[in-house]
């Protein structure tokens, strides 16, 4: 068991071995779930990419530009499992 000390400002510093065990690296986020019985679970938060990394991802990959109708048809076919 690891015991941590809470500072006057309510902060806690995790030891390197705790972060290593959780797979958390500097700059990453921690996810804390508060449970009803006064306990909590702690784990590495899933990495989330900023939306600007997604926008334009397929730009220049195809010469075809789909219309709104073609996109709607493709989405509808995907939901039904038809191709």
Give 6-53 pLDDT, tens digit per residue: 999 999 999 999 999 988 988 889 999 999 999 999 888 887 777 766
Q: Residue 83 — very low, low, confident or very high, per pLDDT cuts 50/70/90?
A: low
Domain that holds residue 65: 51-80
- Type and span of the H or E element at 23: none
- Count of domains for the chain: 1
Q: Give a yes or no: residue 57 inside a domain.
A: yes
Q: Give a yes or no: residue 66 inside a domain.
A: yes
Are 34 and 21 in contact, with CB atoms under 8 Å apart? no
Q: Which two tokens stand for residue 46?
A: 């899933």
Q: Give a yes or no: residue 44 inside a domain.
A: no
Q: Give a yes or no: residue 26 inside a domain.
A: no
- Predicted model pTM: 0.50
What is the C-alpha separation between 44 and 22, in angstroms, rounded? 6
């Amino acid at each position: 068991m690891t015991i941590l000390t809470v500072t006057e400002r309510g902060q806690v510093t995790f030891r390197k071995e705790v972060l290593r065990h959780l797979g958390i690296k500097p700059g990453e986020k921690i996810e804390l779930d508060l449970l009803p019985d006064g306990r909590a679970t702690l784990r590495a938060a899933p990495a989330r990419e900023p939306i600007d990394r997604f926008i334009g991802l397929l730009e220049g990959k195809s010469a075809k530009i789909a219309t709104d109708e073609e996109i709607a048809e493709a989405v509808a076919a995907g939901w039904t499992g038809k191709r």
